[in-house]
Structure 1
Amino acid sequence: MKIQFPWEFSFGAATSGPQTEGASDKKVESIWDYWYRTQPEVFHNQVGNNPACNTYYEYMQDVELMKECRLNSFRTSIQWSRIFKDPLTLSINEDGVSFYRNYFKAIKEANIDLYVNLFHFDLPFVLEDEYGGWLSDKVVDLYVEFAKACFQLFDEFVDKWITFNEPIAFTRSAYFYNDIYPCHKGTQAYVTANNNILKAHMLAVSFYKKNYCKEIGIVLDLLPPIICSKEDQYAGLVYDVFINKIFLDPCIKHEYNKDYLEILKKHEMDIQPITEFHPIDFVGINYYQPVYVRKQGDYRESGFYPWYYFETYIPEGVRINEYRGWAIEPRVVYDIAKTIQNEYGNIKWYLSENGMGVENEEKFLKDGMIQDDYRTEFIKEHLYYLAKAVEEGSNCFGYHLWTFIDCFSWKNTFKNRYGLVSLNLQTREKKLKKNAFFYRDLAVNKFFIGPSYV
């Protein structure tokens, strides 16, 4: 069965600055640099993010690989810690600016649309140390100055701007699960940080809209709840409003979700009102897995956490990615698309991250190439449901695979690989995997032959 996408549909890949660039000595310290320097044992195999993919020095090689993959578009991010020599005084790091200008120019000369994100989990450490990071209004103001500098320096190269990538993944990991520094566990911190990030987003969008003319949006990660019993419906609602709708509703509907506000009030959580909401041109949705949710059965925390109302689990018989322990539910892509179409005004959107992480991928090496047919099948299954939604009127304009080159993945470092291109950590060789050839044909021809079960 032939699965066809519109000719203008964009197939690309996504990554980020802190996960690929390396060259940590050419910038100020980020929270990741500091955390690795002070606690390397936290990181898988004690590997840090330097040299990562060495993109700072090898960006021309990377762009040549993008051309080999025939990418229509590409997303990366600008590191706040690379733009300023001092994020407090806002003094510009000319070396960092030159790197991004040269890198972005090379991407554009390769006829690849460039999507640039401003924040991908990489706060300059001094802003955490001096002000408490996203718990501070001062960091909101400094982010806006960072955004203004980026707009002025790089707008000529950029096709789409993105204010934040996965803000909830960042705050959830930093304030609930100890997976991102400062590992400051607390629901009030989570609520405050999200509110401040939302303010920063709105201020950046407002400034850009008044002064520039490209498109600007935000990338959100969705973990749609799946409810298997009527008695678990409220548990699913709480999960949804605390994980998915904190940004989705304000960014598109221009208001906080009322159930979210009611739960905060019930548990005496403070939230500073946001009085100005500014429309975005598009939203990116990152989707890897849904989450099965049921009523909490045994809450043992002191103080209020959202899981007072719910717990997550994986039912027997559900297909999972054994390397991540994540449920594989391609049909949820269709549900997401229809939700955006029917409940969020059919705003312009794209599937901004989707992919399959596999551990010890070198075991699939044959004839000098990673034989990742499992990744091709994963992509086909998800794109089947996306194509179905597009045919039914979903305003989706593209799909980005996570990721382009196997990259540093936070505390997991290089444990799980997602790339179109493999990275050998010993030889530093970068080489296309088998799936890259399927993806190249897809990017060029806009169709594929559907998965076997269709």
Structure 2
Amino acid sequence: MSLTFLVNAGGWNEDGKGENIWDHLVHMGPFVVKNNDTGDVACDSYHKYKEDVAMLKELGVNHYRFSISWSRLLPTGFTNKVNEAGVQYYKNLIKELKDNGIEPLVTLYHWDLPQPLQDLGGFFNDNFIDWFGDYAELCFELFGDDVTNWLTFNEPRMICVFGYGYGWYAPLIKSPGIGDYMCAKNLVLAHARAWHIYDAKFRTTQKGTVGFVIDSDWWEPSSNKTEDLAAAEMARQFVWGTFINPLINGDHSSIVKEQIASRSKRQGYKRSRLPEFTEAQKKYLKGTLDIIGLNHYSTTLISAQKSHNLNALGFFSDSEVDSRQPDDWERTASEYLRVVPWGMRKLLKWVKDTYNNPKIIITENGYNDDKVKLLEDDRRIYYIQNYLSNVRDAMEKDGVNVVGYTVWSLMDNLEWISGYTLKYGLYNVDFNSPNRTRTMKKSAQYYKKVIATRRVG
């Protein structure tokens, strides 16, 4: 089961917590979140964590993925000022989970950079690698005796491409084709820093793992034509080759480097817009991934572009592919999320074949609707059932090393720029109630049965 601190916890300025980039965005503008919604209270899990754990126990889950708020632990972003109230909150949550037989799966960064660090350049500042390493080390010291499963960054594509490239998400920096790649370089190096710190100082005593969460569609070729097959592989590599390949093989994949270098040259740049790693950095990066966290929701058809617009800058333009989702694919409440269960199996098999069958935990997978209180959520059940069936087939028929599955999400929450309009939860939350009343949906009953019987149907 999965949730993140910013979209469900609330308590945004309580008990010494500092401001993060999403706090800054929703309070200072520009107001890009639908209905000007904020996470100030959200699901109020900051005060209702015991109730949340009781819900998890009712479902029978054996792990709970949540994120630590960097700015709740370190209000300035730096370790010179540790917020003891924040430390105690997470210790209480972790203890409550373990007392109920639920293992914490902890994400260190889920998009909520402390605003003081963003004021210094955020992911553009090469010192970010040290800042994140210091923060990660503090978390290992404080919580590592009770947490053995760590994930550094959640969805780097969203962080870098949406946040520092196209400027759609906080911190709303518009630098497509340049800022996104600068961010990507420092992000993967920061992950490696955290991994090396854990490996050197904590692994022998805490015996845990340090992973990384990638967000990935399955990119299916629109035909069996050679050019469409190549285009689909390009789309996959632009995500995996940019963010995962460095952590396994020490560098971006060659297809990504060659594509961006070629396009940069055709656009008149003196060098590739994708920053290179030094040889020392390549060595430092290689082999720093214990487990892959996979967030997968949908599938997209890919075809080769007939002509290339060299005036367009950005991550998506650089791949020079066209994408679409057919109208007859079932859609959810959001245009981008179509129900395509077979894509899950194909993606898992591709990861196995491409990266020598790494250990994978599915950290997010879920269905959204836009109803205020839809408790008879049969389409969500259909989605989970059929995606889980494809996970099972990937494991049993394809030999993919999947070690866990985590649905998004435990309860309805703030869905970033969509505000409270999209509902992913197995539990409904009444956001008009001061108590943020939780109500079990039909999908929660189904999920509970799956866990109890170990059967998806």
Same fold (TM over 0.5): yes
Deviates more, 1:321-330 or 1:47-56: 321-330
Contact 2:218 2:344 in 1 (8 A): no
Question: Which of 413, 419, 444 matches 1:413?
Answer: 419
Q: CA deviation at 1:304?
A: 3.5
Q: Aligned residue for 1:332?
A: 343
Within 5 Å, give how 1:269-280 maps onto structure 2: 269-273=273-277, 274-275=281-282, 276=284, 277-280=286-289
Q: Aligned partner of 1:442: which letter?
A: V
**Cα distance 1:43–1:201, how it changes in 2: closer, same or farther (>3 A)?**
same
Q: Aligned residue for 1:376?
A: 381
> Could you tell me how far apart the structure 2 residues matched to 1:49 and 1:389 are?
37
Contact 1:216 1:280 in 2 (8 A): yes
- Kindly provide the CA deviation profile for residues 289-315 of structure 1, in whole angstroms up to 9, marking residues without a partner as x: 122222335655635434251222223
Contact 2:294 2:362 in 1 (8 A): yes
Contact 1:82 1:93 in 2 (8 A): yes
Deviates more, 1:120-129 or 1:181-190: 181-190
Question: Which of 45, 48, 57 matches 1:67?
Answer: 57
Q: Aligned partner of 1:334: which letter?
A: R
> Could you tell me how far apart the structure 2 residues matched to 1:270 and 1:398 are?
34
Deviates more, 1:416-425 or 1:336-345: 336-345
List alignment gaps of at least 5 residues for structure 2: 265-271
1:171 to 2:167 alignment: no
Contact 1:221 1:244 in 2 (8 A): no
Q: Aligned partner of 2:211: which letter?
A: G
1:156 to 2:145 alignment: yes
Q: Aligned residue for 1:443?
A: 451
> Could you tell me how far apart the structure 1 residues matched to 2:456 and 2:287 are?
38
Q: CA deviation at 1:323?
A: 3.6
Contact 1:140 1:196 in 2 (8 A): yes
- Kindly provide the CA deviation profile for residues 70-99 of structure 1, in whole angstroms up to 9, marking residues without a partner as x: 111110010111111322453101111010
Contact 1:223 1:243 in 2 (8 A): no
Q: Aligned residue for 1:16?
A: 4
> Could you tell me how far apart the structure 2 residues matched to 1:158 and 1:211 are?
15
Give the match's secondary structure for 2:380. helix
> Could you tell me how far apart the structure 2 residues matched to 1:436 and 1:374 are?
13
1:288 to 2:297 alignment: yes
Contact 1:77 1:120 in 2 (8 A): yes
TM-score w.r.t. the length of structure 2 is 0.90
Q: Aligned partner of 2:404: which letter?
A: G
Q: Aligned residue for 1:317?
A: 328
1:126 to 2:116 alignment: yes
Q: Aligned residue for 1:218?
A: 212
> Could you tell me how far apart the structure 2 residues matched to 1:64 and 1:317 are?
40
Q: CA deviation at 1:270?
A: 4.2
Give the match's secondary structure for 1:123. coil
Alignment length, in residue pairs? 430
Question: Structure 1 or 2: larger strand share?
Answer: 1
Give the match's secondary structure for 2:144. helix
1:108 to 2:98 alignment: yes
Contact 1:285 1:352 in 2 (8 A): yes
- Kindly provide the CA deviation profile for residues 193-234 of structure 1, in whole angstroms up to 9, marking residues without a partner as x: 011100000110111012222122111111221111323344
Q: Aligned residue for 1:241?
A: 237
Within 5 Å, give how 1:374-413 maps onto structure 2: 374-392=379-397, 393-413=399-419
- Kindly provide the CA deviation profile for residues 11-63 of structure 1, in whole angstroms up to 9, marking residues without a partner as x: xx111111111111121110000001112632111110110111111111111
Aligned sequence identity (%): 27
Q: Aligned residue for 1:349?
A: 360
> Could you tell me how far apart the structure 2 residues matched to 1:145 and 1:71 are?
32
> Could you tell me how far apart the structure 1 residues matched to 2:11 and 2:215 are?
28
Give the match's secondary structure for 2:456. strand
1:94 to 2:103 alignment: no
Question: Which of 42, 58, 63 matches 1:52?
Answer: 42
Q: Aligned residue for 1:253?
A: 249
Q: Aligned partner of 2:10: which letter?
A: G
Q: CA deviation at 1:241?
A: 2.2
Deviates more, 1:325-334 or 1:434-443: 325-334
Q: CA deviation at 1:328?
A: 1.7
- Kindly provide the CA deviation profile for residues 236-284 of structure 1, in whole angstroms up to 9, marking residues without a partner as x: 3332222232122222334320011112322121413132123322111
1:424 to 2:430 alignment: yes
Contact 1:40 1:48 in 2 (8 A): no
User: What is the alpha-carbon root mean square deviation over aligned residues?
Assistant: 1.8
> Could you tell me how far apart the structure 2 residues matched to 1:233 and 1:143 are?
38
TM-score w.r.t. the length of structure 1 is 0.90
Q: Aligned partner of 2:254: which letter?
A: K
